[in-house]
Structure 1
Amino acid sequence: MPPGVYRPQTDTGLLRRALRRERITTRTEVLDLGTGSGALAVEAARLGARVTAVDISWRALAAAWCNGLLNGHVVKVRHGDLSAAVPGRRFDLVVTNPPYVPAPGESRPRGRARAWDAGTDGRLLIDRICAAAPAVLSPAGRLLIVHSHLSGVEETLARLHAGGLRAEVVERTRLPFGPVLRSRLGWLRERGLVGGRTTEELVVIRAEHA
């Protein structure tokens, strides 16, 4: 876990649980978008899949590749911006834990914050993933995406449906705000995103071609 790379947390575990319910064989092609440490890529490889891990951070890709080797698996890594790193390819399973935390200001996040900050509505990358999903999934492919209720679960479902995908929430959990959300609690309340609560709900959405 080099400095600046997102450490596996509750959202990673939630997505891992959903991943393990999918049918994965030695012929399954898996794409891990925004791989971070490679925890999900390594889990998919452990289940037998052929895995490609994508990240815009070179440091994250190095971590994912090394963590694959440390666990006895080869994870292919590709540097780039989401599915643009694998042009023209389709996958049987796409897993992604994108940045989804609403953040003050309109500028793109820098440094460590790139792992969680996602614009004022938390959808900076989520909307792009929803738009790209139909083209990057094989005909029987599935998408698993995790994010917070703060970034609009119904909006994600609607966008996936609009793209011709059947989508549903398959995992949920609620947990107390972590340090990042606590540090901007006043701003979140001003925007009407949290009310008086200090907990957030994380969900995993599963989508496939209708």
Structure 2
Amino acid sequence: MPLGADPDLLASLRADLDAARYTVEGLEAAWGPVAAEALGRDDPVPALLELARREPSPAGVLGALFVLGADRPADQVDRALPGTGTVGAERLGLIRLADGVARALVDLRPYALADESGVAAWWIASDPGEMALGGELPEEHVLGAGAASGTLAQILVGTGTGSVLDLGTGSGVQGLIAARSASRVVATDVSARALEFARLNAALNGVALDLREGSLYEPVAGERFDRIVTNPPFVITPRGADGVPAYTYRDGGFAGDGLVEALVRGAADHLAPGGVAQLLGNWEVRGDLDAARQRVLDWAGPLDVWVVERDLLDPAQYAETWVRDGGAQPGTARYRSLVRAWLEDFAARGVTAIGAGYVTLRAPRGTATLRRFEHLDGAVGSGIGAAIEAGLAAHDLQRALPDDALADTVLVVAPDVTEHRHYWPGDADPTVIELRQGTGFARVRRVDTVAAAVVGACDGELPVGAIADAVARLLDADPDDTRAAVLPVVRELWFEGFLALG
């Protein structure tokens, strides 16, 4: 029987989980903040020890069973799930009973999200992870709400009430997020097992998803969407190397970065006019760095494209990261053989580095005009999705503004921006002036004295040109030269969110 195929039992399970306070906060209360921090490092020992010291609580029993992968007495589980019971949980495919002991067959845990659309919480079922299995993951592993899921959720622009395609849905996390506001969500995956989990999670959380099986855009041939979101299997993995596992959730069987390229190139045929696609991706650098970045931009074809590179790893760093992710332990022969396979694959194709980050694509209503690739490897703040949306809007406004029109525009400093000046001891003039953002991408931009003065005077009263002219007079500089120097800086600061329309 498929996972969660009984709707009445699922309704009972939902009520039981709710009554057990099986939430993110409820689990932390069950095993304490220290254990919760350790679980973030994939260390279950503090949580297991803390649970052993305490009287069994419903949330603690369920957390031990479904998160930590620890067997629990059937009578404890029956008390934690009074409506569903262990017999019902077994019928749903969640546990296996043997000799009065319940063993989890799935990872089932609470997941919470706070973004511009508000706060939401779900229960997400997936395959048990490395922590519960105590070893390497099977190739058909279905991932739950991992770190990448959270990253993609943070960068999404508002979905509005239109249609959304969640391509490569996995356990359905992005589909659940999109369904909060979208009128229709189509969720696809090449893995039938992943779709089984997505179907269970949608039903458990009372969400309607149109689930379809197939590779890339095949299940939606001829259809267009207002939004496309995808956390694809982007990991660059050696093809055909002996002993290298081909994880369905991590790589899609393409050589190099071919999967990400196919996703980006195919988006143009499936976005409605003005529609936005966003994805996480990895891309290879072969030789010249600028040429490699231009290659990624070229994949977008007729679409607007904005790439934010968050990491640039050398091949050894990349290989070590993903070999460990699969469960192979450093120092073992297995670990060394896998790292060697990765490095030999990169060397054979001349790969010198691997970039990782976010890609935002948009179907313009006219000719594509945005071609932006930037490397931002610092800490980020909240509201990245809103920052991307504001950047796209600023780009659109600026397209119709020649310099004289920009000079007539009234701008204001964004409320999260602060100015920092650095001086050598005893000097009257600063050596460095920085503008810093407190939210979004938390950019830090160095500006000169003239630009700092213009930005500082953008309070919604005077247009940019008038401010630049006043600064020129104060500095006894030529007004035309000052405008020519300042206006390009103003354009960039507006796009980046340091400035906004007054």
**TM-score normalized by structure 2?**
0.36
| Distance change in 2, residues 1:105/1:74 (3 Å) | same
Letter in 1 for 2:362: E
2:306 aligned partner: 168
Q: Does structure 1 conserve the Cα–Cα contact (< 8 Å) formed by 2:170 and 2:189? A: yes
Partner residue of 2:358 out of 201, 204, 209? 204
Partner residue of 1:66 out of 188, 195, 200? 200
CA distance in 2, matches of 1:64, 1:106: 30
Partner residue of 2:160 out of 25, 42, 48? 25
Q: Does 1:86 align with 2:220?
A: yes
Larger CA Rg, structure 1 vs 2: 2
| Distance change in 2, residues 1:66/1:24 (3 Å) | same
Shift of 1:130: 2.2
| Distance change in 2, residues 1:122/1:185 (3 Å) | farther
Partner residue of 1:100 out of 234, 241, 255? 234
**TM-score normalized by structure 1?**
0.79
Q: Does structure 2 conserve the Cα–Cα contact (< 8 Å) formed by 1:101 and 1:150? A: no
1:187 aligned partner: 341
Shift of 1:54: 0.5
| Distance change in 2, residues 1:14/1:42 (3 Å) | same
Q: Does structure 2 conserve the Cα–Cα contact (< 8 Å) formed by 1:11 and 1:202? A: no
| Distance change in 2, residues 1:171/1:131 (3 Å) | closer
Alignment of 1:108-147 (within 5 A): 113-117=247-251, 118-123=253-258, 125-147=259-281
Query: What whole-Å deviation, never above 9, does each CA across 1:94-116 have from its counterpart, x for those lacking one?
Result: 11122222222349xx9861221
CA distance in 1, matches of 2:272, 2:195: 24
Alignment of 1:21-60 (within 5 A): 22-26=157-161, 28-60=162-194
Shift of 1:148: 2.5
Partner-residue secondary structure (3-state), 2:276: strand
CA distance in 2, matches of 1:131, 1:90: 14
| Distance change in 2, residues 1:68/1:171 (3 Å) | farther
State, as a whole percentage, how many aligned pairs show the same letter: 31
| Distance change in 2, residues 1:170/1:113 (3 Å) | same
Shift of 1:194: 6.3
Partner residue of 1:77 out of 202, 211, 214? 211
2:144 aligned partner: 7
Q: Does structure 2 conserve the Cα–Cα contact (< 8 Å) formed by 1:93 and 1:143? A: yes
Q: Does structure 2 conserve the Cα–Cα contact (< 8 Å) formed by 1:65 and 1:76? A: no
Unaligned runs of 5+ in 1: none
Unaligned runs of 5+ in 2: 1-124, 128-140, 287-291, 329-334, 369-502
Q: Does structure 2 conserve the Cα–Cα contact (< 8 Å) formed by 1:6 and 1:36? A: yes
Q: Does structure 1 conserve the Cα–Cα contact (< 8 Å) formed by 2:165 and 2:227? A: yes
Give me the CA root mean square deviation.
3.0
| Distance change in 2, residues 1:90/1:48 (3 Å) | closer
Q: Does structure 2 conserve the Cα–Cα contact (< 8 Å) formed by 1:145 and 1:205? A: yes
Task: Give the 4+ runs in structure 1 shifted more than 4 A.
Answer: 149-153, 173-176, 180-183, 192-195
| Distance change in 2, residues 1:122/1:35 (3 Å) | same
CA distance in 1, matches of 2:362, 2:340: 38
CA distance in 1, matches of 2:269, 2:232: 18
Shift of 1:121: 1.0
Shift of 1:127: 2.4
Shift of 1:203: 0.9
Q: Does structure 1 conserve the Cα–Cα contact (< 8 Å) formed by 2:309 and 2:355? A: no
Partner-residue secondary structure (3-state), 1:46: coil
Shift of 1:204: 1.2
Partner residue of 2:299 out of 125, 135, 159? 159
Aligned pair count reads 198
CA distance in 1, matches of 2:312, 2:205: 30
CA distance in 1, matches of 2:248, 2:281: 15
